[in-house]
Amino acid sequence: MTSTVSAPGPVALVGSRSDPPGRRSTGTRPARTWLPYALLLPAVILELSVHVVPMVVGVWMSLRGLTQFHIRDWTGAPFVGLDNYRTTLDVDTTTGRELLHSFGVTAAFTVLAVGLSWALGLFAAVLLQRPFRGRGVLRTLFLTPYALPVYAAVITWTFMLQRDTGLVNHVLVDDLGLFEDRPFWLIGSNSFVAVLVVAVWRTWPFAFLCLMAGLQNIPDDLYEAAYLDGAGFWRRLSSVTLPMLSPVNQVLILVLFLWTFNDFNTPYLLFGGSAPSAADLISVHIYQSSFITWDFGAGSAMSVALLLFLLVVTVAYLLVVNRWRRRA
């Protein structure tokens, strides 16, 4: 708080010419204390009503037997305690086993997709670090998949991955002769590879964008010094680039993890709503089990369990990162 003195006078905006941002103003001019709150009010109301209230309602729903019979009169759905959690998370039931399977698929998908996207983004950013002819064109080109609307991009991949008419099999089978038979990509076990490739294609430009921004803050002297000390490409990468990028990486990896784990669009659009078992990512899994059975109580229980899992991972991640940072 700058000041709470309620003397009349012009409103103090924080900081002055001599004050760096972030420092408290000395408060010679009293602030109209309600003003910042009034400015935030629209944002707070919107976030509350579309995110926070539905989330609370979601937790409430997960404790109710909210099936199709109660959609019209949802407040009348019977209270069932933790039954929804018991039935959906119990691995002895079919529902529980399927959820566990979907969770495993999603975890493997997330680790691979985040790792690959980050690695591609890092290499592209490092290789475009120094000016050369065509650098601007490449940068623009690499960002294009991120700018494309997700449905246009994924639907194009669906076309490319068609067994008989797609580009992928044309290259792999007709041009390169790698397979005897035309493989299916959108059904069966290959579908995991398909959804992974499409997700990486869409995600790595974001990693590239962030890492490129991060690289701009590394002074050239550091590279010059490393070069004069005889450090080659890999040594410069591991001793200069990566340590200097760690603040960016800490945020980037977490954001990529959360986005990828929650990714609904890629599998939903790629498989047209019914994901094959090998690519049964958790968001689509919950979506399908909610809207096919219209058991919103069970669907909410799964969503809440998912949120708790993500929360635990995020908190653990932040704790580890902060400990590292303090040690460094």
Partner 1 sequence: MRETLAERYARRVVLTLLVLFTLTPIYAMVSSAAKPLRDVQNSFTWLPSRPTLQPFVDIWRTVPLGRYLVNSLVVSSLAALVSVAVAIFAAFAVSRYRFRGRTTFSVAVLSTQMFPGILFLLPLFLIYVNIGNATGVQLYASRTGLIITYLTFSLPFSIWMLVGYFDSIPRGLDEAAQMDGAGPMRTLFSVILPTAVPGIVAVAVYAFMTAWGEVLFASVMTDESSRTLAIGLRGYATQYQVYWNQVMAASLVVSVPVVAGFLFLQRYFVAGLTAGAVK
204 touches 115 (CB < 8 A): no
Binding status of residue 159 toward partner 1 by CB under 8 A: yes
Sole binder of partner 1 in the list 28, 233, 293, 319 (CB under 8 A): 233
74 binds partner 1 (CB under 8 A): yes
Stretch touching partner 1 by CB under 8 A, among 83-91, 95-103, 265-273, 315-323: 265-273
Contact string 284-323 vs partner 1 (x = CB under 8 A):
--xx--xx----x--xx--xx-xx--x---x---------
Give the nearer residue to partner 1 in terms of CB position, either 195 or 286.
286
> How far is Cα of residue 98 from the mean position of the Cα atoms in its chain?
23
Q: Is 181 in the site for partner 1 (CB under 8 A)?
A: no
CB of 323 to partner 1, least distance (A): 20
Count CB-CB contacts under 10 A for residue 266. Answer: 28
Token pair for residue 179?
Answer: 């397979």
- Which CB, 130 or 326, lies closer to partner 1? 130
Q: Which two tokens stand for residue 138?
A: 């490449």
* Residue from the set 108, 111, 213, 319 that interacts with partner 1 by CB under 8 A: 213
Q: Least distance from C-beta 162 to partner 1, angstroms?
A: 8
Site for partner 1 in 122-151 (CB under 8 A): 123-124, 127-128, 138-151
Q: Min. distance of Cβ 269 from partner 1 in angstroms?
A: 7
Q: How far apart are CA 274 and CA 286, in angstroms?
A: 12
Segment lying near partner 1 (by CB under 8 A), choices 87-95, 185-193, 244-252, 316-324: 244-252
Among 235, 272, 293, 315, binds partner 1 (CB under 8 A): 272
* Minimum CB distance to partner 1 smaller for 52 or for 319: 52
| Interacting residues of 245 by C-beta distance below 8 A, sequence separation 6+ | 122, 211, 214, 215, 218
- Choose between 109 and 261: whose C-beta lies nearer to partner 1: 261
Residue among 113, 166, 194, 199 that touches partner 1 (CB under 8 A): 166
Q: Which window, 78-86, 89-97, 108-116, 262-270, contacts partner 1 (CB under 8 A)?
A: 262-270
Could you tell me the smallest distance in angstroms from the CB atom of residue 84 to partner 1?
12
Q: How distant, in Å, are the alpha carbons of 48, 103, 161, 275, 315 from that of 188?
A: 42, 18, 13, 10, 36
Per-residue mark of binding to partner 1, 6-45 (x: CB under 8 A): ----xx-xxxxx-x-x--xx-----xxx-xxx-xx-xxx-
Alpha helices per DSSP H over the chain: 34-47, 53-61, 83-89, 94-127, 135-147, 150-160, 167-169, 190-215, 220-228, 233-236, 242-261, 265-270, 282-293, 296-327
Quick check: helix, strand or coil at residue 86? helix
State yes or no: residue 163 binds partner 1 (CB under 8 A): no
Angle 159-162-163 from CA coordinates, rounded to 5°: 165
CB 58 within 8 A of CB 303: yes
Do 197 and 117 contact (CB within 8 A), yes or no? Answer: no
102 touches partner 1 by CB under 8 A: no
21/15 Cα distance (integer angstroms): 6
**What angle in degrees, to the nearest 10, is found between the helix axes of 150-160 and 190-215?**
140
Smallest distance from partner 1 to CB 192, Å: 19
Is residue 106 part of the contact set for partner 1 (CB under 8 A)? no
Quote the DSSP letter at residue 51.
I
